[in-house]
Amino acid sequence: MADALVCWKCGASLASLLLPFGRAEVCPACNADVRVCRMCEFFDPTRSKQCRETVVDEVRDKERANFCGYFKPKPGAHRAGDDAAARAREQLEKLFGGKT
C-alpha cells in the first residue's frame, strides 16, 4: 500500500473520499481540509513558495483548502512533508533558545 492516500495531518486513510478532492472535502478522522498544499504532489518546503509548480498566485496558507489548479493529491503525504518540517522547526527552536 505504498501509494495509499493518507491525511497530511493525522495519517488516516483517505480511501473513502472521492477523487478529485473538492474544496469542501475533509479528512474523515480529524476534519482537516484535504485540498491543501501539504497534501499536494507539488508541495516542496525547500522552494520559496513551497511549490514545485510555477504558481501565479501564491497559496499562503498551506493547510487550508485552496483553489490551486495544480492540486494533485500525493500518496503518503503524512510522512513526507511533516517530518522534515517538524525537524526544521525543532532545530530552529534549539537554535534560538526554543519555546519550552
Catalog residues that contact Zn ion under the rule CB under 5 A.
7, 9-10, 12, 27, 29-30, 32
Give me the residue label for grid cell 473513502: 16
Residue placing its CB nearer to Zn ion in the complex, 9 or 51: 9
Task: Tell me the closest approach of the beta carbon of residue 90 to Zn ion, in angstroms.
Answer: 22
User: Considering the complex, what minimum distance in angstroms separates the CB of residue 61 from Zn ion?
Assistant: 17
Comparing CB distances to Zn ion, the nearer of 6 and 59 is 6
